Structure 1
Amino acid sequence: MEMPKASDADKERFRSVVPDRPDVVVKPMFGNLGAFVNGNMFAGLFGPVIGVKLDDEARVELESTERTVPFGPAERPMAGYAGLPEVWNAEGDGDHARVRAWVEKALDHVATLPPKEPKERKPKAAKK
């Protein structure tokens, strides 16, 4: 499975569309970025593609009106996520606003989900 790396410009663009709120955390994931609320990812960056987790109704709306792309590895796209149209990656205020609106819609949806419980870390074996 090939993992494309996001460029610095891709990461900057991603951060610019993620709402600046105290409950939102952006962190690295496999050379890309993910945006989380309550421990759940609502938007991610996979190479140059921004993906958003939407409720079924909003995802159908987006996919039926825009040229979305699968989000994640081609062999195993992430269920429940829609990759925003690649043409929206071009510089332009109109597309930036559209991306930001869908990211905010994803945040609103995922914020209603139960918080993700942190996984317990296994203790490291003692060195001899």
Structure 2
Amino acid sequence: MSANDSAMILAERIRAIVGQPILPKPMFGGLTFLLNGNMLCCVSNKGLMARVGAAAESDALTRPFATRCLGAGRPMAGFILVEPRGVSSDSELRAWVQMTLDYVGKLPPKEPKARKSKPRAPKPAVPQSRRVL
């Protein structure tokens, strides 16, 4: 089984545990789940990136196979990276998902951002001699 297959299986396991609508979105080199517009967690071949909040971070870091999540080389406050071995059992994964739901479930819903449209290139000017009247 490939790492990508493992990530997709993990994504399905998370959907089953959450039990409420979550929106999948490709981000962070994996599949990120949004709850009411707020990032809940992300699955990739690296494992699970769990958004637990700054208050729960120290407790989360005491769990096996958990490390601080680095974004652009800097620690991301409230985000924990859990190696695949740390979410291999249903009880381990359920505990991580519950921790994310405890934090993200209390956040106010976010309105979806309007999609930015690409600026259109201006049409080239038609010389007056070629204009059709």
Q: TM-score, normalised by structure 1?
A: 0.72
Structure 2 counterpart of 1:36, one-letter code: L
The structural deviation recorded for 1:102 is 1.3
Q: Runs of 5+ in structure 2 lacking a partner?
A: 124-133
Equivalent residues in 2 for 1:22-61, closer than 5 Å: 22-61=20-59
The residue that corresponds to 1:3 in the other structure is none
Instruction: Give the aligned CA root-mean-square deviation in angstroms.
Output: 2.6
The residue that corresponds to 1:17 in the other structure is 14
Helix, strand or coil for the counterpart of 1:122?
Answer: coil
The residue that corresponds to 1:75 in the other structure is 73
Q: Which moved more, 1:47-56 or 1:32-41?
A: 47-56
The structural deviation recorded for 1:36 is 1.0
Larger radius of gyration: 2
Contact map agreement 1:14 1:45 (CA 8 A) in 2: yes
The ranges of structure 1 where at least 4 consecutive aligned residues each deviate by more than 6 angstroms after the TM superposition are: none
Distance 1:55 1:78, change over 3 A: closer
Cα deviation per residue 1:10-64 (whole Å; 9 max; x = unaligned)? 2212321243534322222254111111111111124322011113343221212
The structural deviation recorded for 1:96 is 2.5
The residue that corresponds to 1:102 in the other structure is 96
Q: Distance in 2 between matches of 1:73 and 1:46?
A: 15
Structure richer in strand, relative to its length: 2
Q: Runs of 5+ in structure 1 lacking a partner?
A: 1-5
Aligned residues: 119
Q: TM-score, normalised by structure 2?
A: 0.69
